[in-house]
Structures are given as C-alpha cells and as structure tokens.
Structure 1
Amino acid sequence: MKSKFLALLGSAVLSAGVANAGGFQANLQGQKQIGMGHVGTGLALDQSSIFFNPGALAHLRQNGIQLGVSALNAKIAYREPAGGISEAFTDNPLSTPFQVYASFGKEESPLRFGIGVYTPYGSSVNWGDQWQGRFGLNELTLQAIYIQPTVSYRISDKLGFGAGLIYSIGSVNLQRSIPLQDANYAESGIELDGGASGFGYNLGVYFQPTEKLSLGLTYRSKVEMEVKEGDVTFMLPTSPVVAGQFQATQFDAKLPLPANITLGIGFKPTEDLTIGVDVQRVQWSAYKSLRFDYNAGIRGEMFTESPRNYEDVFIYRVGAQYKVSDILTVRAGAYYDNSPVQAGYLTPETPDADSRGVSAGLTLALSEKIDLDASFLYINKKERTDDASKSGGVAGTYKSVAYIPGVGINYKF
C-alpha cells in the first residue's frame, strides 16, 4: 500500500511535460506554418525558420521581426472503466503559447543572425478536487520557454546551413488530493511547485535545387529539464503522527524533452501555389522513467520512481498556401501524430492518444513592410481506454479535443 501511494505521488508531477509533448504538444511555433499543418522544414517562409529550419534563414533577403500568439483551449472527458457510470470533465484555463522571432544581416550578405523565443510545451489541466481520479491529479499548470540565438549561412543560392543554441526555462505547479481525512472529513492534499531549466541545440540544412523544389533537414536535440529544490507543501490532518510521515519540503527531478529529426519537402507547381510535406521522428524512447528525490522522508522513502517506457514515433504533416492576390494569401493543412504512450502507461495529466489535426490560415499584407497572419488549428484525439496498470495513473476511458486560434504580425525592414 505504501509503495502504491508513493508511486501515485511521484508519477503526476513533471510527467505532464512529456504528456503535453506527445499529447497536446504546443505545435504553434509560427502562424503561417500552423495554417499549413505546421509544415515548414523544407520552406523558407519567414523569420520562424529560426525554429523550423535554421538553414533556411539565410535565404530570406529581408530583415524582420515577428510576433505571434495562440489561444489553446483544450477539453478532456473521462469515463470510469467498464461497468462504471461516473464521468468527469476538465475545466481548463486558456493557455497562450507565443512566439517571437527577429533576424538581421546585410542585404547581400550570405550571413544572417537571429533569435527566437517560443513556447513548445505549455498547457493547463484542471480536473477539480471532486472527480474519481483526484488522488492522481487535481490541477496542473506547466510552461516551458525556449530562447534560441541562431546563425545561418547561405553557401550558395541553393544551399544553406544554420545552427541555434537553446536555453530552456520553465515552471510546473501540481495539486492533488491525498487519501487522508481530518476530523471534519476534509481530504488532505499536496502541492508541488518548481522551476526548471536546460540546454540544447537546433541544426538545419536547406537545399533548393530548382525554383520549384526545396528540401530541408533539421535536428533538434534533447533538452534535459532539471528541477532543483522545488517546493513541496502538504495539507494534512493536525495529527502529529500523520505529519511526522510527511517531512519533505523540497524535491529534485529531471525530465527529458525528446530530440526531433524532421525531413521537409517544399514544392511550387505554380508561382502562387506552395505545397509542403514534413515527416518528423520524435525520439521519445529517451523517457524511460520519472524519478523524484526528496530532501526528507515521505512515509520513510527519500525518492519515488515510476516507469514510462515511451516509444519513438512519427508525425506526418501536409499543407499548402495559395497567393490569391498581392494582399491575400490563404492556407490549409493537416497532420497525424502518433502517441508515444504504450498500453498501461496512461496518466490523467494530458491523457495521450493518436491525434488528428486540421488547420487553416491567411495573411493580409497591410503594407509593404507589415503583414498580419491568422490561423486556426483543431486537434481531435482518438478515444482511448487504459488500465494504467504500469504508470500508477487513473484507469478509464479518455477523450480529448483542442481548439486553437492564433494571430501574428510581421514587420520587415
């Protein structure tokens, strides 16, 4: 019983960062690309190439600043295992992943410098404190911000290379109930709150053999997010016997955000039509277990560890844009994202399943120097039933959807 309690305690803290990545990964790094199913590795569209392919950045002949934000509205439904009749629904607050990019260099120079600040992971999940799985999770808020200075070099009109250093900062706050009651039958609880940081890099090559065809290949490294001295707060009965079993006040943990390899193809059958296809390999197998080390004992234990054993997966994307006029460009796209979570390892933070996404977008040229972008992405995850026997999660059936409008502005100089 004690080992099961500790597994529940440890499993629900930072695993949400990984669940967000495999599940509601914030694939929202550029408004133009969102409108095209988030393709962009084989294209040189705008300053967001800092994220999508640093090698393409030097093929942009104008300097620019780009700002964008999306409104992530995610909903999750839960139903008890077979034979149960209870249901639960999340009441998630609105999340706002954003992106900021800037690039600069002399007009005819083959060298371009850039910096990007974006949020590849971030969402909020609120199940409340009355649902059946409250001993696994009540509420979670997670955010990770990547800061990426970048350099790109155009070897020729056909070939470019680029590289960026990633510094990631983030935070996590988790609240869950504990199966202990005081004299008034009020349940106990725990809150874990901490900041995390890590380093990585982004490499890209861009090749345009003809005016109609372009190719891109990128590698984004694993980022090991590390929490040091996060705060542990218990809400417990006043009994000194019980309080003496929960002495931890701080925790340390590490979470691998996985490496990605992406191959992209761009094709322009006409001057006004651009088609993009991306195939992305996400190396989730780096996430084998989740361990928490405490500065004092929790029911006699100084650490907890729970298995994850995620699998490497592919994401397939396709999108297109069409220039209707000098003022208006329209876009559409779709993607299929395989889940890295094996059977028995599902958790309630962001219950993951294979995802289907469809999107649309447009650009309005307000002037020669200013463009306005807009996008909309709809994500529908397959319904998934899992016994959570290996993760210490909450068994049942989950269904998730998300609605994500976005807007951005570009200034070219």
Structure 2
Amino acid sequence: MLLHSRWLPLALAITTINTVQAAGLELTQHGAKEMAHGYAGTATLLEDASVIAHNPAGLMRLQGRQFSGGLSFVHAEIDYEARFISERVESLYGLPAREVNGPGAGNSKQLTVVPHIYYSQRLNEDAAIGIGLYAPFGSGTEFPTGWAGRYHSEETQQTAVNINPTFAFRASDTLSLGLGVVIQSYSARLTNQIDLGYLVAEAVLERVEEQSGASAAQAVAPTLLNNYGSKPEYQVLNEIEIASVAYGFSAGMLWQPLDALRLGLNYRSQISHIAEGEAKRTTLEQAGFKDNFITQISADSGLTQQEAAETLEKAFDERGSLGGDIVSRIHLPQLLTLSAHYDLSDRIALMGSVTYTNWSVFKEIRLEYEDTSSRGGSDITGSGDDVRRRDLVQPLNFSDTWRAGIALRYQATPELVLRTGYSQDESPVKDADYRTPRGPDADRHIFGFGLSYKPAAEWDVDLAYSLITIARADINARENPAGTQHRAEGHSEGILNNLGVQVNYRF
C-alpha cells in the first residue's frame, strides 16, 4: 500500500479543507491572532502554541503545556470575465476566430473552512517541544457547468496539509532556536471538458487534406467547425485526481537584544512530491454519439464511413483523450519570514515582517501517463513503468514573491487585547498569458482586525477578521491540457472575507 493511502485520509479527515485561492497557493490561516494582524509580524508574535507554524523557536516563550485550536472561515468570490475564442484550427484554413458558446462571465464562490491544531510542552528552562497540524497551501475554484470557459476549467482543488513536530532550545540568554520535521500530504482534483468535436474536426480536415488537397479541406472547414466545434453534445468530461506524501523541515530563530525588541526568523523548506493518481475520461462508447457522429462526419467531409470511424477513434486512443494512470511532480516552495516586534509602551506594540516565497519552482502542472508498453519513455517514479504518451500540461510560469506588512497590538485592559494590521501580498502570476481559471491570481491587499479576551488565567479566546482584495488583472490565456488551445481574453478580480476563531488553553 502506498504511504499516502494511509496518511492522506487521516490528515484530510482531521482538517476537512475545501481549499481557496491564496497568493499563489499559499494559505496563511494558521492562527487567529496572525489573521487579526493582517499576517504581519508572524515570526515574533508568539503568544500561543501556533508558534509551531510561525516560528518554532518561539516555543521558548511559552510556559507549561498549551493547546491551541481554531477555525478560519473564508468566503472567496472570484470573477473571471472573458471572451473564450477558438482560433487555432480556424487560422490554418483562413477562417475568422469563433467565440465558444455559453456565458463568458464565470463566478467562483466558495466557503472554505481551514482548521489548525497545536500542542506545546515546556520540557525545562532550556527546551520545549510541540506538534501542529495546519494547511500551508491550497487553491480552489469552481465555475458553473456550461460556462464558456469549461474547456479551461470547471473545478480546481489543491490542498497540502502539514503535520509538524518541533523542538526548540535556548542557545543563550537572548537567542532561541527551533527545528521541525514536516510531513506533508498533497492532493488535487482537476476537472474540465474536452472539446472533442473540435479535435475531431481538426483530425478530419487533416485527413481530407492528405487525400484531396488543401483546397478541399478549406472548402469543408467551415461546415465541420461550425457543426462540431465547441458543441456541448460533442464534449467529454476530464477528471484528474492525484495525491502523495512527502517530507521537509522547518526552522526558526528568535533573538531579543533588548527588553522591548525581538527579531524572529522562520523558514519552511521546499517539499517535492511525486503524486500518483488517475485521469478519468468518458470512452467513445460511453459518450453515446459514436454511430451518429460517424455518419455526420462522412456526410460533411466526403470521407467514407470507415475513414470517418478511424479518424474518430484517434480522438479516444492513447494519443488523444483516453484516460489512465498518471504521475506528477509537484514542487511546493520554500518560505522565509523575517519579523520584528517592538514594545512602544507597556500597552502598545508595533510589529512588521517581510516574507519571501520562491514560487518560481512551481512552473507548471505536468501530468504524465504511466505506460508499460515497450515504446520507451522516462521513468520518474522508479517503478519500471515507461512514461511515453503525450503529457497533460498546464503552464503556470510562477515568479518569486514578497509579502510585507505592519501591525499594531493594544492591551486595552488586563483581559482584552485589540489588534489590527495590513500587508501587501505580491502575486506569482505576472503575465496575462498564464492567468487561467485554474489560478486567476493577482496582487492583493490584506486588512486585519481582531481581539483576544482572557476570562480566566487558564484560557483565552481570539476573534479575527481580515479582508483580502485581489486586484483586477488582464487575461490572455490558452487552455491546456485539453489540446484545443482555446483562448480566454478578459480580466479577473476577487475578494476574500476571512473570519477566524481560536481557543488557547494552558495546563
């Protein structure tokens, strides 16, 4: 049994995450206090056991045993308004581009629940341990059935869940260090429609041109493309699901040179997955239009029914839309956060941070078929299977990013703390050519507000709200991996409302 078949259900059962698109794929909802600060100063805030995710060295600031658990409720609304155009085959035969039928304005609305659970324990004056479970990465969009962008994407869900045991120790009176092991499960579900009619029309035109010449193909091209291209009755559903477990590490440093000043550094390593799964496609027989399709193709193209049948079969064989077992290399990036915390007075603290993420390792989603035939190929899994069939590739072309923010903490009363903050978060998607419905990302602004209330010495509760605005950005993307390369031309924008609650208990 594969390792992920044991760990992935456990992690997902605990975290029940319906993912949403963050900057790139990053999810920052690891703690309610951090949300209230707009995710600024996270590596030096260090007031509860969520330090495990934000800076493991911060365990040295906690006493005794502590538990922190919370939920973040995220409502994401992503607008993707575009004209979806088929033009690749049309351009070969001197025809104008055509718009794909269906509404071009796609609106993805999702309510996401992102849980986090942490436990810390002080071993002695010089050491502490802890363990956390949280989601560092995730993305999700779901557009309505029948929209014009269905060949680009209908559903996209990606989730990474970390199990993160950590250890921290005091290196000196002013310096603490922390180190953790990251056990990360990754899963993805990608669905879209394949414009089979368009692919068949292309194959038929190639056959007509081979047999009767370019002028004959050009004469029948308008009929074939109009009758079959982008027709809901001639499309098949593409469902891809993959999962894996991989390993990395986290590290942190906390330095307090002055009583009023502390500096924190948090690092999470890159984690590389080889995810395995399956591409499920409707077969030609299941599609239910084989016989009628063959007859119509023959009548419209002049090919015999036998020639039309052979051409149609190619769209469903291993070179076309046939499903099968697949593998994919997924590289989730390393993150480095530097934070500072300064006490302006006994009641007011100012904090800030910058975060670097090397998203450039996440260039594409490449899905490679496993094939045990003798035709050769690359064996990336080490299983002995050949990978030869045409890869399914969604280009992303992510770039490295920075996030910077500033926050304020106010001790209103001994029991009540008020919090606020702001961050500017850079998107890894820089080019309109790669702003697809699977990842309609752009630069964002994060505004955070919240409070912490301590009714008793043993426990307190945090409430937080953050508003994330995703900038309006241009779109000029071609769908892939469905093969037809229809183009989307328009813009996207979005807004995320985050509500967080967390309970912290000391014993």
TM-score, normalising length: structure 1: 0.88
More displaced, 82-91 or 331-340? 82-91
Partner of 2:254: 206
CA deviation vs aligned residue, 1:121-167 (integer Å, no higher than 9, x gap): 23431102221211010112222110100000012331100011111
Return the letter of the residue paired with 1:375: A
Q: Shift in Å at residue 306 of structure 1?
A: 4.7
Mapped partners of 2:395, 2:196: distance in 1 = 25
Mapped partners of 1:115, 1:359: distance in 2 = 26
Partner of 1:341: 429
Return the letter of the residue paired with 2:118: Y
Partner of 1:222: 270
Partner of 2:96: none
Q: Does residue 463 of structure 2 align to residue 374 of structure 1?
A: yes
Distance 1:262 1:91, change over 3 A: closer
RMSD: 2.7
Mapped partners of 2:186, 2:496: distance in 1 = 22
* 8 Å CA contact 2:151, 2:479 repeated in 1: no
Q: Does residue 278 of structure 2 align to residue 231 of structure 1?
A: yes
CA deviation vs aligned residue, 1:345-403 (integer Å, no higher than 9, x gap): 21212311111010111111121111111111111011001212597673321011111
Alignment coverage as a number of residue pairs: 393
Q: Within 5 Å, give how 1:254-269 maps onto structure 2.
A: 254-269=329-344
Distance 1:50 1:37, change over 3 A: same
Q: Does residue 320 of structure 2 align to residue 243 of structure 1?
A: no
Partner of 2:187: 171
> Which structure carries more helix by proportion?
2
Gaps of 5+ in 1: 1-16
Match among 127, 141, 150 for residue 125 of structure 1: 141
Partner of 1:11: none
Mapped partners of 1:381, 1:399: distance in 2 = 6
Mapped partners of 1:174, 1:195: distance in 2 = 12
More displaced, 73-82 or 376-385? 73-82
CA deviation vs aligned residue, 1:219-252 (integer Å, no higher than 9, x gap): 2111113212x02111242438243343332110
**Match of 2:35, SS?**
helix
Q: Does residue 405 of structure 2 align to residue 317 of structure 1?
A: yes
Mapped partners of 1:287, 1:375: distance in 2 = 31
Q: Does residue 77 of structure 2 align to residue 75 of structure 1?
A: yes
CA deviation vs aligned residue, 1:197-240 (integer Å, no higher than 9, x gap): 22111111100111110001122111113212x02111242438
> Which structure carries more strand by proportion?
1
Q: Shift in Å at residue 184 of structure 1?
A: 8.6
CA deviation vs aligned residue, 1:258-278 (integer Å, no higher than 9, x gap): 111111100111112122100
Distance 1:124 1:92, change over 3 A: farther
**Match of 2:113, SS?**
coil
Mapped partners of 2:84, 2:488: distance in 1 = 13
Q: Does residue 53 of structure 2 align to residue 51 of structure 1?
A: yes
Q: Shift in Å at residue 87 of structure 1?
A: 4.4
**Match of 1:341, SS?**
coil
**Match of 1:42, SS?**
helix
Distance 1:198 1:394, change over 3 A: farther
Q: Shift in Å at residue 62 of structure 1?
A: 3.4
Mapped partners of 1:121, 1:306: distance in 2 = 18
Distance 1:394 1:223, change over 3 A: farther
Distance 1:394 1:250, change over 3 A: farther
Q: Shift in Å at residue 290 of structure 1?
A: 3.2
**Match of 2:150, SS?**
coil
Q: Does residue 354 of structure 2 align to residue 279 of structure 1?
A: yes
Partner of 1:101: 118
Q: Shift in Å at residue 81 of structure 1?
A: 4.9
Q: Does residue 389 of structure 2 align to residue 301 of structure 1?
A: yes
**Match of 1:317, SS?**
strand
CA deviation vs aligned residue, 1:261-301 (integer Å, no higher than 9, x gap): 1111001111121221001111112223332111259xx93
Match among 446, 465, 468 for residue 357 of structure 1: 446
**Match of 1:61, SS?**
coil
**Match of 2:321, SS?**
coil
More displaced, 219-228 or 304-313? 304-313
- Higher-Rg structure is 2
TM-score, normalising length: structure 2: 0.72
Gaps of 5+ in 2: 1-17, 86-98, 198-227, 291-311, 374-387
Mapped partners of 1:402, 1:97: distance in 2 = 14
**Match of 2:179, SS?**
strand
Distance 1:147 1:210, change over 3 A: same
Determine what percentage of the aligned residue pairs are the same residue.
Answer: 25
Mapped partners of 1:294, 1:26: distance in 2 = 30
* 8 Å CA contact 2:83, 2:104 repeated in 1: no
Distance 1:331 1:19, change over 3 A: closer
Q: Shift in Å at residue 92 of structure 1?
A: 3.0
Mapped partners of 2:434, 2:159: distance in 1 = 23
* 8 Å CA contact 2:166, 2:180 repeated in 1: yes
Mapped partners of 1:117, 1:198: distance in 2 = 15
Mapped partners of 2:234, 2:109: distance in 1 = 24
Match among 477, 493, 496 for residue 399 of structure 1: 493
CA deviation vs aligned residue, 1:56-101 (integer Å, no higher than 9, x gap): 2112223200001111111111222599995423343321111111
Q: Does residue 269 of structure 2 align to residue 194 of structure 1?
A: no
